[in-house]
Amino acid sequence: MQLIGKPLYYKVALKALEETIIPELQSPSALAAGAFVLDAIRAVARREDEGGSLLERRNLQAMDIAASLEAALTAHGVPLPARPTGARSDAVGFEPLAVSNGELTRWLAELVNLFAQSVPFKLRNAGDLALLRQAAEWECQTGSDFAAVPAPPAGNESTEPPLRDALTAFIRSGHHDADAVTITHLQRAAGGFGKQTYLLEIKDGSGALEKLVVRKEDPAPICDHPSFDLEREFHLVSAVNRSGYRAPLPLWFSRKSPGIDAPFYVMKALTGKAAGSFLEGANRIPESLALEFAELLAKLHQIPLESLSEVIARFEDPSVLTETIAQGYRRHIASWRDYVRTARTLPSPLLAYLFDWLETHVPEDTSRPVLVHGDYSIHNILIDDDHITGVLDWEAAMFGAPGIDLAYVRLGLAKHIDWSTFVEHYRRCGGRHVDDATLDYHLTFQAVKIMVAMIRAHYLLHSETLTDIRLTIFELGLVPQFMKMALSTTS
């Protein structure tokens, strides 16, 4: 994983502050503090982005002025002080240059003070006066130069156009009330890395309100593997909903709509609140809810693949309906490995190792694949009155081993319920038998898929294709976490 330098982090932090955070601040003290924080980051960004070469030039000028002052003092018979060891002309990098600049500033101040104390004004010649003035101007100009350095640009992607008018036109084209429909509320939901999510409320001609959700791709998707295609997700979730499973009800899909910069679909909003987030987990999940979670997973894995045949025929390899889990694994691994070879992403020796490990350790499972959610965890369910109202975020769904979901569940749910209790309830509710000895393999496969998407996102930030503050979480937390997890399961 290639590390991102400070200038780019300053850039995305500035963008988030300017476009998202400060406009939402309310109190005078918060607004004032936000402005100070913005100015501080701008100042540091100036130094990091443009200040290195400027500081190097200024330091060299200071060395020349100091040498001239030493020569002038020597000419007046004044003993010279020792030169500060930190005043160097060969420093490299902003921080060493800044340290050297501080030492040079102290050195010049010492020489000017020595002149003032040791050489009476009447004995100073025109060259002496010019040198003292030059030392003063050097410090003044150094500060002015850094203040004049422009802040780094916020980013090279275009600002997303206003969505309200574009979404209104799109919804009216499919709604029974047509032109009578208006949008009363539109807000982007926090979080979400694979897709953008907007919470929407509309009012029809009778005045009735309806809550909807818009799920939209980024203009540069963090993962454009075919299995992450948004249209595939729309049709898959529609089919899952028709089966009676607690999934959202998608309404309309658009690959391209005027005023909207990427494919999206609109679905009915489910009741309930999120149970937690991926990084934070959930504070406390009662056992009754964990058992309901197990029951829902069992029901998911019982959905007949034949009922999803239209989705499979349109978006999947037809062998899904006849292959074994082992055959499916080999096909999926080859597909993801080919994607890494051809997609714009960053090189990863760890991924190369993991793909090789996966290929050489496929469990010889001859059972049929099931529909796998792929991200079945606490952070992707809604809860209302201690019951699960829906399962969200189906972008990683696939046809494969049920152990993929079970291994992923075990990551976040182990602290809430005894694992054997969870598995026993899953099996009593009709879930497949999964050998616990294979869970590490299933988890490694899932971790590799997620790592590919994360490293792709890291590339988009690294290359400044996207300068979204959310993407910094991949380098700062998620990628190392999944790297460690994936590697530990292959020992």
Rounded average pLDDT over 149-164: 53
Say what percent of the chain tops pLDDT 70: 88
* CATH for the stretch 273-488: 3.90.1200.10
- Confidence category of residue 279, pLDDT binned at 50, 70, 90: very low
Position 86 pLDDT exceeds 60: yes
Determine the 3-state secondary structure of 186 from DSSP: strand
What is the amino acid identity at position 481? Q
- Confidence category of residue 431, pLDDT binned at 50, 70, 90: very high
Determine the 3-state secondary structure of 8 from DSSP: helix
Position 156 pLDDT exceeds 60: no
β pairing state of 196-203 and 387-391 = unpaired
- Confidence category of residue 161, pLDDT binned at 50, 70, 90: very low
Say what percent of the chain tops pLDDT 90: 43
Give 38-47 pLDDT, tens digit per residue: 777 776 666 6
Position 389 pLDDT exceeds 80: yes
Beta carbons of 232 and 311 less than 8 angstroms apart = yes
- Closest CA relative to residue 425, chosen from 304, 325, 305, 299: 299
Residue 252 CA: distances (Å) to CA of 48, 171, 255, 483: 47, 8, 10, 37
pLDDT score recorded for residue 386? 84
pLDDT score recorded for residue 3? 67
Burial 289-312 (b: 16+ CB within 10 A, else e): bbbbbbbbbbbbbbbebeebeebb
More confident residue, 106 or 9: 106
The rounded mean pLDDT for the chain is: 85
Determine the 3-state secondary structure of 381 from DSSP: strand
Position 376 pLDDT exceeds 90: yes
More confident residue, 37 or 350: 350
Tokens of 450: 């997620």
Of 49-53, 90-94, 459-463, 467-471, the one with minimum mean pLDDT is 49-53
Tokens of 83: 């030169």
- Confidence category of residue 312, pLDDT binned at 50, 70, 90: very high
Beta carbons of 307 and 239 less than 8 angstroms apart = yes
Residue 51 CA: distances (Å) to CA of 106, 119, 146, 267, 389: 20, 36, 7, 49, 54
pLDDT score recorded for residue 45? 67
Give 137-152 pLDDT, tens digit per residue: 877 776 666 656 555 5
- Closest CA relative to residue 369, chosen from 413, 403, 406, 400: 400
pLDDT score recorded for residue 278? 42
DSSP assignment string, 412-447: HHTTTS-HHHHHHHHHHTTPPP--GGGHHHHHHHHH
What is the residue whose two structure tokens read 């309310």? 26
pLDDT score recorded for residue 41? 72
Position 225 pLDDT exceeds 80: yes
Give 285-308 pLDDT, tens digit per residue: 788 999 999 999 999 999 999 999
Backbone phi and psi for residue 210, each to the nearest 5 degrees, phi listed first: -140, 135
- What is the C-alpha to C-alpha distance for residues 179 and 175, in angstroms, rounded to an integer? 9
- What is the C-alpha to C-alpha distance for residues 318 and 164, in angstroms, rounded to an integer? 40
- What is the C-alpha to C-alpha distance for residues 483 and 447, in angstroms, rounded to an integer? 8
Position 31 pLDDT exceeds 80: no
- What is the C-alpha to C-alpha distance for residues 261 and 218, in angstroms, rounded to an integer? 8
Q: First vs last Cα of the chain: how many Å apart? A: 21
Position 215 pLDDT exceeds 60: yes
pLDDT score recorded for residue 309? 92
* Segments making up each domain of the chain, as ranges: 6-148, 163-268, 273-488
- Confidence category of residue 176, pLDDT binned at 50, 70, 90: confident
- Output the pTM of the full model: 0.74
- Closest CA relative to residue 181, chosen from 168, 199, 167: 168
Burial 161-175 (b: 16+ CB within 10 A, else e): eebeebbbebbbeeb
pLDDT score recorded for residue 159? 37
Tokens of 144: 């002015």
- What is the C-alpha to C-alpha distance for residues 341 and 230, in angstroms, rounded to an integer? 22
pLDDT score recorded for residue 453? 85
Rounded average pLDDT over 411-434: 90
Of 156-160, 313-317, 427-431, the one with minimum mean pLDDT is 156-160
pLDDT score recorded for residue 47? 64
Position 101 pLDDT exceeds 50: yes
pLDDT score recorded for residue 321? 92
CATH topology of 163-268 equal to that of 273-488? no
* CATH for the stretch 163-268: 3.30.200.20
- Give residues with Cβ within 8 angstroms of 313, minimum separation 6: none
- Confidence category of residue 189, pLDDT binned at 50, 70, 90: confident
Position 158 pLDDT exceeds 70: no
